[in-house]
Amino acid sequence: MAEVDTASLKAILVSSTSIGHLVQTVARELDQHDLFYGHGTDNPDDEAYSLVFAALDIAFDDAEACWDQLPEADGIEKVAGLLSQRINERVPLPYLTGIAWFAGLPFHIDRRALIPRSPIAQLLEQGYSPWLQPQGAPRVLDMCTGNGCIGIATAAYMEDAKVDIADISASALALARENVALHELEDRIEVIESDLFGALQGRQYDLIVSNPPYVPHDSMLKLPSEYSHEPVMALEADDEGMAIVDKILRQSSRFLKENGILVVEVGEIQQAVEKRYNETPFTWLEFERGGEGVFLLNRADLPEPG
């Protein structure tokens, strides 16, 4: 479908008689284009709601109070600008608004890191119960942390946890530090630049959790255009997606306490992981709100270090 210029979109949106009507109009425009939803929403209606409220700087809690209000002209112009980028450039909405929601919490996000979307959110909301049972305050490592969402949300939900968040990308860690400050967790979270476990020697954890790069190159070529805006190094891994996962599996036992656990998202390469480690007793987690390809292992069941 041909591109839609901002002026044309503004002309369509300006007839909106209320903010609610504006949301409905944006949803119709989104639905007319071949867009991919999967970076915070999964349908044009929710995407429109999020886009409009972000552009107008309205909190979701205020939706009912403002739904029938007339949108101001400058607000409509902002909506048209975001909508144009979403349709024409296929930019995921969180990169346009600068905010992503994960485990019910807001996070700063930009192209320095992946947009948060891991089903691990559902696990940490439960304090990793029933698997994580530390003696004393839990020590947690969020490996390949990106913008810090998993580690930060873990600290937010587990008020006595001490968390290290680590990544090889200095730019991603700069964003993670912004999010640590946003949630005022500087006293319980340490941000560490590290190539996997390289800078973590001597540390011991009750839990290591990771959403590492695992997308095979062939799969990268088939991803929707929206993914092209995300950092490749945070998505793609060599060896048919197994390169980083292999290292985490082989090295984690040296950094886990005796009763520690490892939780890793591997997405589409689940079968490849099971095939390569066919004697390893993975627990593949199930999630009420959807999501798959996340395994859990006790330290005693990890493969031999390599």
pLDDT in tens, 241-253: 999 999 999 999 9
The type of residue at 141 is: L
162: containing domain: 102-301
**Longest pairwise C-alpha distance within the chain:** 65
pLDDT above 70 as % of the chain: 99
If pLDDT is split at 50, 70 and 90, which confidence band does 263 have?
very high
Question: Of 63, 97, 131, which closes a domain?
Answer: 97
Shared domain for 154 and 48, answered yes or no, is no
Judge if 270 and 133 occupy the same domain: yes
Domain boundary among 47, 72, 97: 97
Domain count of the chain? 2
85 plus 129 within the same structural domain: no
Residue owning tokens 């001597």? 202
Residues 124 and 250 in one domain: yes
* Residue 159 placed within a domain: yes
Task: Tell me the CATH number at 277.
Answer: 3.40.50.150
Q: Are 241 and 214 in contact (CB under 8 A)?
A: yes
User: Residue 306 falls within a domain, yes or no?
Assistant: no
Token look-up 């909301």 returns 125
- pTM across the whole model: 0.94
Cα separations in angstroms, 24 against 15, 19, 117, 194: 12, 9, 25, 46
Regarding whether 275 and 174 lie in a shared domain, the answer is yes
Question: Residues for the chain: how many in total?
Answer: 306
Between 57-61, 157-161, 206-210, the lowest mean confidence (pLDDT) is in 57-61
Q: Are residues 35 and 182 in the same domain?
A: no
Q: Let me know whether 159 and 248 are in one domain.
A: yes
The verdict on residue 266 lying in a domain is yes
pLDDT tens digits, 35-51: 999 999 999 999 999 99
Residue 286: both structure tokens together: 């199930």
121 Cβ contact partners less than 8 Å away, ≥ 6 residues apart: 102, 103, 150, 153
Q: For residue 1, tell me if it sits in a domain.
A: no
Same domain, 126 and 274: yes
Gap between the Cα atoms of 108 and 176, Å rounded: 8
Predicted pLDDT of residue 2: 60
Q: Are residues 216 and 75 in the same domain?
A: no
**DSSP secondary structure string for all residues of 85-109:** HHHHS---HHHHHSEEEETTEEEE-
Does 121 share its domain with 74? no
- Summarised one tens digit per residue, pLDDT across range 40-96 is 999 999 999 999 999 999 998 898 899 999 999 999 999 999 999 999 999 999 999
Q: What is the pLDDT of residues 110-136, one digit of tens each?
A: 999 999 999 999 999 999 999 998 888
Q: Which of 281, 287, 280, 238 is closest to 265 using CA atoms?
A: 287
Between the CA atoms of 124, 128, 132 and 138, what dihedral angle is there, to the nearest 10 degrees? 20
Same domain, 170 and 189: yes
Start-to-end Cα distance in the chain: 51
Q: Alpha-carbon distance 136 to 162, whole Å?
A: 11
pLDDT, mean over the chain: 95
Q: Which of 97, 115, 143 is the last residue of a domain?
A: 97
What pLDDT score was predicted for residue 176?
Answer: 98
Q: What is the pLDDT of residue 1?
A: 53
Tell whether 35 is covered by a domain: yes
Q: Tell whether 226 and 195 lie within a shared domain.
A: yes
Q: Grade residue 305 by pLDDT with cuts at 50, 70 and 90.
A: confident
Instruction: Concatenate the DSSP letters of all residues of the chain into one string.
Output: -----HHHHHHHHTT-SSHHHHHHHHHHHHHTS-----SS-SSHHHHHHHHHHHHTT--GGGHHHHTTSPPPHHHHHHHHHHHHHHHHS---HHHHHSEEEETTEEEE--TTSPPP--THHHHHTTTTTTT---SSSPEEEEES-TTSHHHHHHHHHSTT-EEEEEES-HHHHHHHHHHHHHTT-TTTEEEEE-STTTT-TT--EEEEEE----B-HHHHTTS-GGGGGS-GGGTB-TTTTTHHHHHHHHHGGGGEEEEEEEEEE-GGGHHHHHHHTTTS--EE---TT----EEEEEGGGSPPP-
